[in-house]
């Protein structure tokens, strides 16, 4: 019998386009870590549910509401960590970009406790210039 890892089920309920709907699976003391030298005003640690909301609202604003995450792989690592490979698409500075990223999630008691977002900024692909 092949059963889904419970932490994958938690992440499948996470919706970066609607953090309010995902609030129940984000721990109150959660931390979202983001570092991107191409977007220095975005990098930093975002604390709590409000911090997650702040980050995704900020990225939506910077990308004119075009930011979208498409999961490619989701791999649980033991009982606490999950590594996801995602493809982010967005319009930034008049260019439609596609960027690979890895997000490492720490999930404790069926809640997102911590996330590290690591974008592959030097190999971002320009899909279209507007």
Instruction: Tell me the three state secondary structure of residue 45.
Output: strand
Tell me the pTM.
Answer: 0.91
Note the pLDDT of residue 93. Answer: 86
Q: How confident is the model at residue 1 (pLDDT cuts 50, 70, 90)?
A: very low
Query: Residue 55: which of 94, 26, 87 has the closest Cα?
Result: 26
Q: Give the pairing type, strands 26-34 and 111-119.
A: parallel
pLDDT digits 0-9 by tens, 37-52: 888 899 999 999 999 9
Note the pLDDT of residue 2. Answer: 59
pLDDT digits 0-9 by tens, 59-97: 999 999 999 999 999 999 999 999 999 999 999 889 899
Structural domains in the chain, CATH included, are 6-129 (3.10.450.50)
Question: Where do runs of H (alpha helix) occur along the chain?
Answer: 6-12, 19-22, 48-62
Distances 10 to 29, 63, 90 between C-alpha atoms, Å: 17, 27, 25
How many other C-beta atoms are found inside a 10 Å radius of the C-beta of residue 90?
Answer: 20
């Amino acid at each position: 019998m092949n059963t889904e890892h419970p932490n994958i089920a938690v992440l499948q309920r996470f919706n970066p386009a609607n953090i309010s709907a995902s609030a129940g699976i984000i721990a109150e003391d959660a931390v979202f870590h983001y570092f991107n030298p191409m977007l220095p005003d975005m990098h930093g640690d975002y604390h709590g549910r409000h911090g997650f909301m702040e980050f995704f609202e900020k990225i939506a604003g910077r990308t004119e509401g075009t930011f979208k995450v498409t999961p490619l792989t989701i791999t649980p690592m033991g009982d606490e960590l999950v590594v996801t490979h995602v493809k982010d698409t967005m319009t930034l500075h008049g260019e439609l970009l596609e960027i690979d990223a890895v997000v490492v999630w720490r999930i404790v008691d069926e809640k997102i406790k911590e996330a590290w977002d690591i974008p592959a900024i030097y190999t971002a692909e320009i899909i279209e210039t507007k």
